[in-house]
């Protein structure tokens, strides 16, 4: 352990601003790029659900969805 007190830890030997702003930016960077896609995933599933429900009566039945095999992977 390099520090004898919590205060000393916060002060970072006079480099408090530099060290804590970099670690703060790192935390924001991690949060944005993990929580962002997770929230987007929920949003997409909600949107698709609504979309399928709107289209469902017109298509008369769930089995009418086509192209499941064709749209997958390599086209040739």
Partner 1 sequence: MDWTWFHKWGSPKWFYELSGKWLPWLVGSMVLCLTVGIVWALLFVPQDYQQGLTNRIFYVHVPVASISLAFFPLMAIAGTVFLVWRMKLADVVVKVAAPLGAWFTALALASGSIWGVDTWGTWWIWDGRLTSLLLQFFLLLGVVSLRTALEDSEGAARACALLSIVGCINVVVIKYSVDWWNTLHQPSTDFSIAADQANGPEIWVPLVFMILAVYLFFAISLILSTRNEILQREKRSQWVMELVKRS
Q: Using the rule CB under 8 A, is 34 a contact of partner 1?
A: yes
**7 or 75, CB closer to partner 1?**
75
Give the count of beta carbons closer than 10 Å to the beta carbon of residue 9. 13
**58 or 72, CB closer to partner 1?**
72
Query: Residue 3 contacts by C-beta under 8 Å, 6 or more apart in sequence?
Result: 9
**58 or 62, CB closer to partner 1?**
62
Q: Alpha helix (H) ranges present in 2-61? A: 6-11, 16-59
Among 7, 37, 58, 61, binds partner 1 (CB under 8 A): 37
């Amino acid at each position: 352990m390099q520090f004898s007190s919590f205060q000393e830890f916060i002060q970072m030997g006079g480099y408090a601003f530099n060290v804590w702003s970099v670690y703060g930016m790192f935390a924001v960077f991690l949060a944005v790029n993990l929580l962002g896609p997770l929230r987007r995933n929920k949003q997409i599933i909600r949107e698709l659900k609504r979309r399928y429900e709107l289209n469902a009566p017109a298509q008369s039945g769930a089995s009418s969805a086509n192209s499941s095999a064709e749209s997958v992977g390599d086209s040739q």
